[in-house]
Amino acid sequence: MKKDLSVIIPVYNELENIRPLYDALKPVLDGMGVKYEIIFVDDGSTDGTAKAVEGLASDPSLRVLEFRRNFGQTAAFSAGFDHARGEVIVTMDGDLQNDPVDIPKLYGMVKDGDYDLVSGWRKNRKDPFINRKLPSMMANWLIGKVTGVRLHDYGCSLKAYRQEVVKNLKLYGEMHRFIPAVANWYGVKVAEVETTHHPRVWGKSKVGISRTVKVFLDLITVKFLQSFSTKPIQFFGPMGLASTAVGICISLYLAAQKLLLGRPIGGRPLLLLGVLLIIIGVQLIGMGLLGEMIVRTYHESQKKPIYALKKVIGQDE
């Protein structure tokens, strides 16, 4: 049964927030006049959140996905995307900090506008500065610099997507925050809009400053996939050639020292450096070639195209 709108809400130990969130969300969606569904994804809660969500199951518009254990927010979003039936999919946090009143605005920009993905911007964010806002500001700047997709707030969970955008995405690690950057690689039109942000009233935040390290590592992965996922030799090759060239130059210099000037080179650290650089260069080039073989096997075995079509006009005979 297709829907106009799917709202995906991952929750983890948010017992006190479930009912207030549902009570705030339901009137907004009813007032939109669209066919909708609400998908709660319980990420292995241990405080009774699952039972609180199940208590709302008498609502025919509500669906509940329960994990066997805590898999993380990225996995929760991925499960929601897999089960969503809406033409437009909206994601939001379950801590009452995102305001459901903003959903119609995001939905309209995707449904009636030219955008495929609309991301919320918590301009007046109600979180502590040192351990929440400052790391977020640094991460947003770094992500925009590396990926080329400039957003003020990558970490805002309140986003709206066309269905086809998320159905083709495979998420791992902490990759949910990088969806705009990954989707942009496919030519998706991304927009950002200011949204309301409330301070947390009940429960504790599950996000700490330690997540910054994970975000940085995932950013390296995103950059590699964005630029070299179908051509790994162009990533490893230049580094391998440069390393090999420097190693050969060092070796030739030392050979000239030995043959022309008769100087001993056996105990010189420079000789070890030259040999090491040549070995590393050969290994990097070999890694690039192996990567090329893996990429070709991956695409050809699964018949996975290296392009993304927006539409096809005309009949296929």
User: What CATH number should be reported for the domain holding residue 95?
Assistant: 3.90.550.10
In a domain, 312, yes or no: no
Query: Tokens in use for 141?
Result: 């700047």
Q: How many domains does the chain have?
A: 2
pLDDT confidence tier of residue 203, bands split at 50, 70 and 90: low
- The predicted pLDDT at position 298 comes to 67
CB 198 within 8 A of CB 99: yes
65's enclosing H/E stretch is strand 62-66
Q: What is the tens place of the pLDDT at every residue in 27-65?
A: 999 999 899 999 999 888 888 888 898 888 888 899 989
38's enclosing H/E stretch is strand 36-42
Tell me which of 228, 258, 278 is where a domain ends. 228
Task: Give the structural domain span for 257.
Answer: 233-301
- The predicted pLDDT at position 31 comes to 92
Query: Tokens in use for 45?
Result: 């809660």
Phi-psi region of 135 (alpha: psi -120 to 50; beta: other; left: phi over 0): alpha
How confident is the prediction for the chain on average, in pLDDT?
Answer: 82
Q: Is the pLDDT of residue 138 over 90?
A: no
Tell me which of 197, 228, 259 is where a domain ends. 228
In a domain, 316, yes or no: no
Nearest to 163 by CA among 240, 238, 111, 119: 111
Q: What is the tens place of the pLDDT at every residue in 81-127?
A: 888 988 999 999 888 888 899 999 999 999 887 788 998 888 888 77
Measured from the Cβ of residue 78, the count of other Cβ atoms closer than 10 Å reads 22
Tell me which of 205, 228, 251 is where a domain ends. 228
Q: Is the pLDDT of residue 6 over 90?
A: yes
Question: Are 222 and 271 found together in one domain?
Answer: no
In a domain, 106, yes or no: yes
- The predicted pLDDT at position 312 comes to 61
Question: Are 125 and 169 found together in one domain?
Answer: yes
Question: Are 259 and 198 found together in one domain?
Answer: no
CB 154 within 8 A of CB 139: yes
Phi-psi region of 245 (alpha: psi -120 to 50; beta: other; left: phi over 0): alpha
Question: Are 126 and 224 found together in one domain?
Answer: yes
CB 37 within 8 A of CB 6: yes
* Top-confidence residue, 207 or 270: 270
* Top-confidence residue, 314 or 125: 125
> Which range has the top average pLDDT, 49-58, 236-245, 255-264?
236-245
DSSP state of 116: S
In a domain, 42, yes or no: yes
Nearest to 122 by CA among 153, 161, 157: 153
CB 182 within 8 A of CB 74: no
Which region among 47-61, 72-86, 182-196 has the lowest average model confidence (pLDDT)? 182-196
Question: Are 145 and 186 found together in one domain?
Answer: yes
Give Cα 125 distance to the centre of its chain. 21
Question: Are 44 and 130 found together in one domain?
Answer: yes
- The predicted pLDDT at position 297 comes to 80
Question: Are 77 and 99 found together in one domain?
Answer: yes
Q: What is the arithmetic mean of pLDDT over 193-222?
A: 72
Report the distance separating Cα 26 and Cα 262, nearest Å. Answer: 87
191's enclosing H/E stretch is strand 190-194
Question: Are 281 and 211 found together in one domain?
Answer: no
Question: Are 196 and 276 found together in one domain?
Answer: no
CB 270 within 8 A of CB 250: yes
Question: Are 49 and 127 found together in one domain?
Answer: yes
